[in-house]
Structure 1
Amino acid sequence: MSGLTNALVICAVVVLVVVRQFKAQEIGTDRRWWLIPAVLVFMAVREPDLIDPQHRATSVTLLAVELLVGLAMGAGWARTSHVWTEPDGTAWSKGTKATAVVWAVGIGLRAGLFGIGSLLHVRQGTPGLMLALAATLLVRSGLLIQRAGTRPAAYGMADAAPEPMRKEPV
């Protein structure tokens, strides 16, 4: 895919995520919460310009820092989201003003990393950004599920209370 297409995919995902984060959303009902991050990872690792071959060590270092920023941003996003449980037992989350600050700081750090890479003449493309965004989404979703005390149902079946163990006569 071209760089323009990758940039459009990233922008679409960011807009979708930002718009949705300030709406109340049920946690743990979508068993495919990992699908968008998986698509982003797939798109990123198949691109040839993930690592600049002429500045391999610097490029790997910048990518590692980018991933750390993505992980921290996902953790901060999950931590600043308001989580509550409805009387019917469903868990919900909604972004707060602090969540917007986490996003602003994360975007600022990523812009700074891009600037550092440019100063060091490291060729940077969208794959690194896609990997970091995938890390952000994965960490955020996983931590929200953990905070809510819910987990997706296994094999598409509703979670059921375990049956009590019965003693067999001997």
Structure 2
Amino acid sequence: MSALFNVLIAIAVVALILVRQFKPQQLSGSRWWVVPAVLGFLAVKDGGLIDPHHHAASVTLLGAELVIGVLMGVGWAWTTKIWTESDGTVWSRGTKATAGVWVAGIVLRVGLAGLGAVAGIHMGTGAVLLALAASLLVRGGVLMWRARPALTSYGVAAEGSPRQVWKDRV
């Protein structure tokens, strides 16, 4: 795929995430890993994650990008509000602190990109997609871990008698 296509995918995913992050959304225990897996696949599929002319420096920058992505995912998940409704559904929504995590992550990533550009290191768009995939994967995992007690009790009536639970599809 072309670099332009990867950039457009990254922008579309970030825009979708930002819009959805600050609206309440129901958590479920399935498929939270699909989007990060697709982004990770797109990132490594074409190669070009490492600049062959600056191998060690580009590996270092990629590692730093991934560390920032993981830390951003952890911060994002820990600043997200999680609550359970009276019907037992579990919901989440980003807070002002979540927005701060996003701003800090973007500033750090732009700084890394600038540092790489000054050093003459060519980092492809795959590095951005891979770091975004890492952020989403870690965020989803930590959110599911934080919501685990509420999610495991979902489907049990207040009286303690189990009831069948399924997800309605529209």
Q: Is the pair's TM-score, using the shorter chain for normalization, greater than 0.5?
A: yes
5+ residue gaps, structure 1: 164-170
CA pair 151-63 structure 1, distance change in 2 beyond 3 A:
farther
Tell me which stretches of 4 or more aligned residues in structure 1 moved more than 4 Å. 150-153, 158-161
Question: How far apart, in 2, do the equivalents of 1:49 and 1:151 lie?
Answer: 42
TM-score (normalizing by structure 1): 0.86
The size of the alignment, in residue pairs, is 157
Bigger-Rg structure (1/2): 1
Question: How far apart, in 2, do the equivalents of 1:98 and 1:51 lie?
Answer: 33
What RMSD in Å do the two structures reach over aligned CA positions?
2.1
TM-score (normalizing by structure 2): 0.86
CA pair 150-141 structure 1, distance change in 2 beyond 3 A:
farther
The amino acid that maps onto 1:125 is G
The amino acid that maps onto 1:117 is G
Question: How far apart, in 1, do the equivalents of 2:126 and 2:86 lie?
Answer: 43
Shift of 1:151: 9.0
Shift of 1:119: 1.1
Tell me the percent identity.
Answer: 54
5+ residue gaps, structure 2: 163-170
Question: How far apart, in 2, do the equivalents of 1:130 and 1:57 lie?
Answer: 20
Alignment of 1:33-112 (within 5 A): 33-112=32-111
Asked whether the 8 Å contact 1:28–1:151 carries over to 2, the reply is no
Asked whether the 8 Å contact 1:77–1:103 carries over to 2, the reply is yes
Partner in structure 2 of residue 142 of structure 1: 141
The amino acid that maps onto 1:11 is I
